[in-house]
Amino acid sequence: LTMVSELRHAIDNNGLALYLQPKLSLKSGTIDGFEALMRWPGREQPVRADELIALAEQSGLIKPLTRWVLQEALEMRGRLRDLGFETGIAVNISPNNLREPDFAVFVQRLMQSYHSHTGGITFEVTETSMMQDPLNSLKALNSLHAAGIPISIDDFGSGYSSLSYIKQLPASEIKIDRSLISDLSDREQDRVIVRTTIDMCHSLGYTVVAEGVEDEATLKLLEEMGCDLIQGYLLTRPLPFDEMINWLSDQP
Ligand code: G
Ligand code: G
Ligand code: G
Ligand code: NA
Ligand code: MN
């Protein structure tokens, strides 16, 4: 069996899993949202999420894969709400999704079919993925934004950041890339970059999330810099839904 046909089978037969990783608000000290990250468990040879996504993009499976991810995220969002957690879930969207001419319509229909649980889904896109097809990506994001879906710019500060392009996007949140966060306590240069990025993003009206926070010292620095939210192993690794519920109920 080729990996592509295995993946197709997994998409159709609930062989994939969507894990959740929480974000902590440094202002309120409470969990304020989750990122959904896809996993392929039960496979003899583990496949990394980025490999899986690349495979799906190459083989045309990204469309049904994204449909599954969104359905699963909407389902989880509803279950979280039933349990009293009103926070949203962020889903990563691939460049090829944004190129589909009817993607925004498809997303709106899907959300309507989960009517009671509509809302609370944010889309994360990377600058790099937008660059492959800036005009169509921008069109798609504008339609999604018009439909009420918040947009977050992922991995900010990695690759080529073009602020003149990003400022045209209907985004409300910026996620600073892990590469700028992971050595924050040791590297004065990174502190300068991150502090300046946070100030600039705030001046432009964005909420700022720091990715890849692994220790208390980094949290303290980000708190001093006025960062809004953090995400990373310091809180927890991405967890399956039920484990995330347990983790949440263990929080003070
Ligand atoms: O969780 P992990 O570090 O393994 O994720 C690796 C990469 O895969 C990240 O860049 C993440 O954005 C991407 N990724 C994880 N889940 C999804 C998904 O459901 N859809 C898309 N498009 N990308 C995802
Ligand atoms: O089966 P359903 O009624 O949900 O499909 C609604 C429309 O959305 C159909 O035209 C279908 O082909 C389309 N569709 C299904 N999945 C996707 C997807 O991932 N992306 C896009 N752009 N359209 C999709
Ligand atoms: O979508 P994005 O490219 O931001 O994907 C986030 C990736 O980072 C996921 O694969 C997730 O598992 C991983 N991740 C989340 N928190 C941490 C962390 O604190 N340290 C490291 N090294 N990776 C993390
Ligand atoms: Na991402
Ligand atoms: Mn992300």
Long-range contacts from 44-49, C-beta under 8 angstroms, 24+ separation: 47/3
pLDDT at residue 186, as a whole number: 97
Per-residue pLDDT for 129 more than 90?
Answer: no
Per-residue pLDDT for 117 more than 70?
Answer: no
pLDDT tens sequence across 21-43:
999 999 999 999 999 999 999 78
Q: Which atom, in ligand 3's list, is nearest to the CA of 19?
A: 12
Q: What is the DSSP letter of 92?
A: E
Its pTM stands at 0.90
Q: Which atom, in ligand 2's list, is nearest to the CA of 67?
A: 19
Half-sphere exposure (Cβ direction) of 212: Cα atoms closer than 13 Å? 13
CA-to-CA distance for 227 and 202, rounded, in angstroms? Answer: 9
**Minimum CA distance residue for ligand 2 atom 23:** 106
CATH assignment of the domain containing 188:
3.20.20.450
203: containing domain = 3-250
pLDDT tens sequence across 144-174:
999 899 999 999 988 766 777 888 899 999 9
Q: Domains in the chain: how many in total?
A: 1
pLDDT tens sequence across 65-96:
999 999 999 999 999 999 999 999 999 999 89
| Ligand 3 close to Cβ of residue 154 (< 6 A) | yes
Please name the residues in contact with 75: beta carbons below 8 A apart, sequence gap of 6 or more: 114, 117
Instruction: Please tell me which residue, 127 or 121, carries the higher pLDDT value.
Output: 121
Mean pLDDT of 242-249: 97
Least confident segment among 30-34, 118-122, 137-141, 235-239? 118-122
- What separation in Å is there between the alpha carbon of 187 and the centre of ligand 3? 20
Q: Which atom, in ligand 1's list, is nearest to the CA of 39?
A: 16
**Minimum CA distance residue for ligand 2 atom 9:** 106
Please name the residues in contact with 230: beta carbons below 8 A apart, sequence gap of 6 or more: 23, 24, 26, 209, 210, 213, 219, 222
Q: Which atom, in ligand 1's list, is nearest to the CA of 126?
A: 12
Cα dihedral sign for 193, 195, 201, 206? positive
Environment of ion ligand 4 (residues, CB < 5 A): 92, 154
The tokens 């720091």 sit on which residue? 210
Environment of ion ligand 5 (residues, CB < 5 A): 124, 154
